[in-house]
Amino acid sequence: MKPVVVAPFHRPLLQRLRGRSVALETDVAHSAEAVLAAADFGLNLVCLRVRLDDELAALDASGLPPRAPLAVVAPAAGPMRRLGRKVSDLLKLNARFYLPGRTREQAADLRMLASLGLNVAADLVAPGPAEWDELRELAVYAFYNSTPHADLDPFSFLGRRYHLDRLPLDPRSVMFRAPGKFFFADENGGLASPTWDGGTDPCPFTLADLDSEAASSFLDEARVGWRRMFVEPHPCTSCEGFRVCLGLFAAEQGPGCRALMAEALAGAEWAAGQRAAKVEPWQP
């Protein structure tokens, strides 16, 4: 599996990324230009990562390319009354909206946006103390709520991908933080890899060496780095939800995150059962 390179929109760098799967980081003002440049330089554009300095409610959606895959990262949702007036414009985008997901207020915002049809992703390890009961309720909503709603990742991601023969699942994938799946490039072609503790480490090779045997070995080891938690051993490995967590909350592990990820595992298993029971009608 080829890694995805998360790279800044920097034209001299794009030539070196030709043919690779890339998530381009940019702002609203340069988003349309970045899409055109990705096509010109022959990139496999996974998405544009558009970081907002202000809350989502302040976004002028007309500045974003409507058909390009977008990961819109905002520090907060903002007032729902103001945001509600923009939902029709946001729904025209091919976007997932990334927001902090740690508190009761943040969980309520995520539920509301999903109920309005916007695909959202909760950053469960954003700064600040976690309100675990609220996050557990958020997982219950994502998996079981019968009212139609859009995806609420990482829970919807786990529900889509969960199969007994494809475990474990890393919820970091939807957040661009999965070791062995993503690299972060700088403007000079230097690379850093996400680490299992939520940070990044410089790679012992550059973008020019990404197809080398050394890089391949590095990727293979990074993908299974979670196994080291069994060697230490780490308290996370005794949690039933570890198969769909892989130590995401290792720095703050305790009863709260255990209950949350046990709920996430149960929901993912339920979603897999729903898929297996579905009978597809024959086609003429």
Tens digits of per-residue pLDDT, 107-165?
A: 999 999 999 999 999 999 999 999 999 999 999 999 999 999 999 999 999 999 998 65
Provide the percentage of residues in the chain whose pLDDT is more than 70. Answer: 99
What is the model's pLDDT at position 165?
58
What is the pLDDT, as a whole number, of residue 164? Answer: 65
Distance CA 133, CA 57 (A): 26
- The arrangement of strands across the sheet holding 200-206 comes to 152-153, 119-123, 94-100, 69-73, 44-51, 21-26, 4-8, 182-185, 190-194, 200-206
The CA-atom distances, in angstroms, between 115 and each of 56, 98, 173, 224, 278 are 16, 15, 23, 36, 24
State residue 233's pLDDT score. Answer: 82
Average pLDDT over residues 249-259: 95
pTM: 0.94
How buried is residue 213: exposed, middle or buried, by Cβ count under 10 Å (0-12/13-18/19+)?
A: exposed
Q: Is the pLDDT of residue 277 over 90?
A: no
Q: Does position 16 have pLDDT exceeding 80, yes or no?
A: yes
- pLDDT, mean over the chain: 94
How confident is the model over 18-48, as pLDDT tens digits?
999 999 999 999 999 999 999 999 999 999 9
Helices (H), the chain: 11-14, 31-40, 80-84, 87-90, 104-115, 132-144, 155-161, 213-223, 228-231, 255-277
